[in-house]
Amino acid sequence: MASENDLNGLDLPEFGFLPFDLYVMEKWNPTSPLSIVQQKKQLVEEWIKLGKYGRREYLGTIPFPEEIPSNVPQNLLTPRERAHDGQIERTLFIRTWYGDPSDPASQDKADDDYAHLVEVISSEYGEMGLMMDEFFIFDEEEEFSSSLLSTQSGDAEFSDGVAIPRPGCMPSYVLAALMHCPDQIEGTRIENLDDLPSAEEVEGQQTLLVLVADRKACEEGWVLHLAINHKGQVLPFRVRDGADWVSASYANWSDGQQLTENTENPEADTEMYMDHGGGGGGWD
């Protein structure tokens, strides 16, 4: 992510302008035994799990300054995060592989492998920041390392650094990313009620594309593509695509193509390796 000081030209919404602000105002517990970070994480997770229809009541209402309780923190998001939260970007790129924390050589190799992965992905654009907004490229070891997340999570989310997402779950690395932009799960646009799909239909619709740079991606070029629904849950059909096809995947999603359009059975618990005729390898 770019520097917090890089705010040139960004619109900085005051507290109360973002839908998540209203949720914080309603749910913040100043007497909670949790730390501020822990309580924020709890609220972000609850916010995401509300889903499209649960979040609607927080859209479109902006409180007067005097209506904001003095004991509600207004700095849970940094200025740069506030400027990006809920913007048009619908793709998150998350690095989770940083090597074995007890082996410096493994960590150095992981950095080199990740740099190579980014170079291949960027071959069409010159740099990743020209493909997508750099804010949504998450590369912070202390937040996203598979070693750290495997320790914190009660469920097995990684096997030797390789992500093994379970359909219906909210991966901890997705939650960690949305801690920086909780309104990104849906944006801040108020939709016409007449245009909304049924609650049943929306469960299987993709809201976000999450690209995961796990160990298999960094070492073999196979980048994991996850379709995330309106509750932050992984949809059953996943894709592993070669590094040099990531920009095409990103473009297709930006044009409205859901990940499930790559299969005739979107409900199947499947992780498909895309073969574009290059020999079957992630770097081909």
Residues 131-172 pLDDT 10s: 999 999 999 999 999 998 876 555 689 999 999 999 999 999
Domain match, 203 and 95 both: yes
Q: What total number of domains does the chain contain?
A: 2
Considering the domain boundaries, does residue 115 fall inside one? yes
- 238, 270 contact by CB (below 8 A): yes
Domain match, 111 and 218 both: yes
Domain match, 126 and 266 both: yes
Cα–Cα distance measured from residue 12 to residue 8, given in angstroms and rounded to the nearest whole number: 10
Q: Mutual orientation of helices 36-49 and 19-27 as an angle, nearest 10°?
A: 120
Considering the domain boundaries, does residue 2 fall inside one? no
Domain match, 35 and 113 both: no
Cα–Cα distance measured from residue 47 to residue 252, given in angstroms and rounded to the nearest whole number: 28
Give me the amino acid identity at 257. Answer: Q
Considering the domain boundaries, does residue 83 fall inside one? no
- Burial code (b: 16+ CB inside 10 Å, e: under 16) for 84-122 equals bbbbebbbbbbbbbbbeeeeeeeeeebeebbeebbebbb
Determine the structural domain holding residue 262 and report its residue range. Answer: 91-273
Domain match, 108 and 130 both: yes
Q: Which residues contact 110 (CB under 8 A, 6 or more apart)?
A: 97, 98, 99, 215, 218
Query: Quick one: pLDDT at residue 221?
Result: 97
Domain match, 121 and 192 both: yes
Considering the domain boundaries, does residue 203 fall inside one? yes
pTM of the predicted structure, to 2 decimals: 0.93
The beta strand positions in 6-100, using DSSP E, are 91-95
Q: At 224, which helix (H) or strand (E)?
A: strand 222-228
For the chain, how many residues are written?
Answer: 284
Domain match, 130 and 259 both: yes
Query: Quick one: pLDDT at residue 60?
Result: 80
Residues 210-268 pLDDT 10s: 999 999 999 999 999 999 999 999 999 999 999 999 999 999 999 999 999 999 999 99
Q: Tokens for 113?
A: 């492998």
Considering the domain boundaries, does residue 11 fall inside one? no
pLDDT bucket at 199, cuts 50 / 70 / 90 = confident
Domain match, 65 and 143 both: no
Cα–Cα distance measured from residue 114 to residue 120, given in angstroms and rounded to the nearest whole number: 10
Domain match, 63 and 108 both: no
- Look at residue 204 and tell me whether its pLDDT is greater than 60: yes
Considering the domain boundaries, does residue 256 fall inside one? yes
Domain boundary among 36, 54, 77: 77
For the ranges 2-11, 20-29, 45-54, 160-169, the lowest mean pLDDT is seen at 2-11
pLDDT bucket at 9, cuts 50 / 70 / 90 = low
User: How buried is 279 (Cβ within 10 angstroms: 0-12 exposed, 13-18 middle, 19+ buried)?
Assistant: exposed
Q: What is the rounded average pLDDT for all residues in the chain?
A: 91
What SS3 class is residue 58?
Answer: helix
User: How buried is 214 (Cβ within 10 angstroms: 0-12 exposed, 13-18 middle, 19+ buried)?
Assistant: buried
Considering the domain boundaries, does residue 284 fall inside one? no
How many CB atoms are closer than 10 A to CB 210? 24
Domain match, 189 and 258 both: yes
Domain match, 153 and 30 both: no
Place of tokens 């909210």: 170
Ramachandran category for residue 158: left, alpha or beta (phi over 0 → left; psi -120 to 50 → alpha): beta
